[in-house]
Amino acid sequence: MAPPDGVPPPPPPPSSSGRISDVPPSVPPPSIPAPSGRMSFIPPPPVTPSVFEHYRGRVLRFVEHMGEIGSLTLGAARSLFKRPLEIDSTIYQIESLGVRSLGIVAVTSIFIGMVMTIQFAFGLQRFGGIEYIPRVIVLSFLRELGPTLTAIIVGGRIGSGMAAEVGAMNVTEQVDAIRALGGDPAKKLVLPRVAAAMIVMPFLSVFADTLGTLGALGVCWLEYDIRPRLFMQSALETVLLSDLFSGLAKTPIFGFIIAIVGCHFGLGTRGGTEGVGQSTTRTVVVVSIAILVADYFLTRIFVAFLPP
SS (H, E, C) the chain: CCCCCCCCCCCCCCCCCCCHHHCCCCCCCCCCCCCCCCCCCCCCCCCCCCHHHHHHHHHHHHHHHHHHHHHHHHHHHHCCCCCCCCHHHHHHHHHHHCHHHHHHHHHHHHHHHHHHHHHHHHHHHHHCCHHHHHHHHHHHHHHHHHHHHHHHHHHHHHHHHHHHHHHHHHHCCHHHHHHHCCCCHHHHHHHHHHHHHHHHHHHHHHHHHHHHHHHHHHHHHHHCCCCHHHHHHHHHHHCCHHHHHHHHCCHHHHHHHHHHHHHHHHHCCCCHHHHHHHHHHHHHHHHHHHHHHHHHHHHHHHHHHCCC
Q: What is the pLDDT of residues 151-185, one digit of tens each?
A: 998 888 898 888 998 888 888 888 888 888 888 88
Residue 88 scores a pLDDT above 60: yes
The pTM is what? Answer: 0.79
Q: What is the pLDDT of residues 254-298, one digit of tens each?
A: 999 999 999 999 888 887 788 888 888 989 999 999 999 999 999
